Structure 1
């Protein structure tokens, strides 16, 4: 039986691990980033750094946020004197390498999961910094504010439409020619940008539903696929390794292996 060909749509600088997992599990990876990430030293980030001693908590939602601090403020983590929450084990492990041990990682790796943890722990009337991309959902800051916390949002990076969309156009052509067996999406923007680049969304959505195994990293990304009427699956734990394990399990099951 041939190797499954798996399309990876996450940003190029975050795709190496995903491609390695695909190869390790016996597949062939095709990288077609539908999203670019660019660290930015915004005025709001400067203000957050300037006032970091007033923070009770800081929340890191992605590795790219940490990249921004390391690029613009490499000493930021040296004397950080507040509690730290992260969304996801990957972000947590990167912080561990910085010498920062997260105080809180929700079991549900989503903004909703973190808000629920803060609620259960009755964390209220605190000053909480959230460095992130400006295009992120407002679920996290709104949820924390509803718990009577003061939330300071700082733009640490931009989520951009891919500067070079040729690889995505090539991927779409391969999908139309039945050269791709599965496709993965790791954020809502990876889905939206994929369909913006394509021509004839309805036809492409049909191919992703009927001809490919489409896998989302979790339910938030899955909801966006629902908007495009794309059938999909996602793992119980919202990580890239778990997403790939599920993909290959479904692939083997459907192909009698």
Structure 2
């Protein structure tokens, strides 16, 4: 059972950007924690080149569009300032928040997996589409190819288009250095492999590994978990459901188990 303020006094890294950090921070504050917002990822829409324009102008040729995140949805829609075409493919989403956003935009979704991870999505999605279906997957430059590969291996077509680049905001490096060296972080929370990679970029640049190792580590998803293990971290909390709320709850359960 969760006590009223199980994170009391704990300073928690919030790795999301300002636009996505607010609800995350409120959740930490709800349990008495102190959110430390240091964006470890920022998203930059790519320029509209000829190939991307061609794909965007032929959406009706696809049977499905797969959205893997809110960022993918927002960036994709930004390419249609005058509104989307009247006839669109069916829409699939990974993640409850992505599904909610799509619903608000009037775009379904028509399919959501039982677990919010690429491996489960791919397995369940191919069972729900017709052989030979054409699937469009907007993505970031660092996204994996697992979904597209699985679709192709099962007799359908998958086109991936990069719609944004994932970068580390330069000011965040110094913010992270200040937080770690000043004892200002007790819990590190990672929401994607990219947040881990960018965190370690700063840690290695400033020689902060000892400071990082003193922190409790939590993450969402098996790929993020594996990335942390590859960097030699002990992962103290990694929930079965891949949401921020479940990660926070899993962290609280860990803290209560070691008290």
SS at match of 1:30: strand
Report how many aligned residue pairs link the two structures.
Answer: 251
Counterpart-to-counterpart distance in 2, 1:14 and 1:177: 25
> Could you tell me which residue of structure 1 aligns to residue 250 of structure 2?
246
For each residue in 1:225-255, what CA deviation from the matched residue of structure 2 results, as whole angstroms up to 9, or x when unmatched? 0110101121110011111222223233433
> Could you tell me which residue of structure 1 aligns to residue 152 of structure 2?
145
Residue 76 of structure 1 and its aligned partner are, at CA, apart by 4.8
> Could you tell me which residue of structure 2 aligns to residue 181 of structure 1?
186
> Could you tell me which residue of structure 1 aligns to residue 16 of structure 2?
10
Q: Which runs of 5+ in 2 are unaligned?
A: 1-5
The structure 1 segments of at least 4 consecutive aligned residues displaced by more than 6 Å after TM superposition are: none
Residues 26 and 13 of structure 1: CA distance in aligned 2, closer, same or farther (over 3 Å):
same
Residue 75 of structure 1 and its aligned partner are, at CA, apart by 5.0
For structure 1, which segment, 44-53 or 105-114, has the greater mean C-alpha deviation from structure 2 after superposition? 44-53
Residue 116 of structure 1 and its aligned partner are, at CA, apart by 0.6
SS at match of 1:231: coil
Residue 163 of structure 1 and its aligned partner are, at CA, apart by 3.4
Residues 144 and 27 of structure 1: CA distance in aligned 2, closer, same or farther (over 3 Å):
same
Q: Which has the higher contact order (CA 8 A, sep 6+)?
A: 1
**TM-score with structure 1 setting the length:** 0.88
Q: Which runs of 5+ in 1 are unaligned?
A: none
Residue 154 of structure 1 and its aligned partner are, at CA, apart by 1.5
Residue 50 of structure 1 and its aligned partner are, at CA, apart by 0.5
Work out whether 1:33 is the aligned partner of 2:39. Answer: yes
SS at match of 1:105: coil
2:202 to 197, 206, 209: 197
**TM-score with structure 2 setting the length:** 0.88
For structure 1, which segment, 176-185 or 85-94, has the greater mean C-alpha deviation from structure 2 after superposition? 176-185
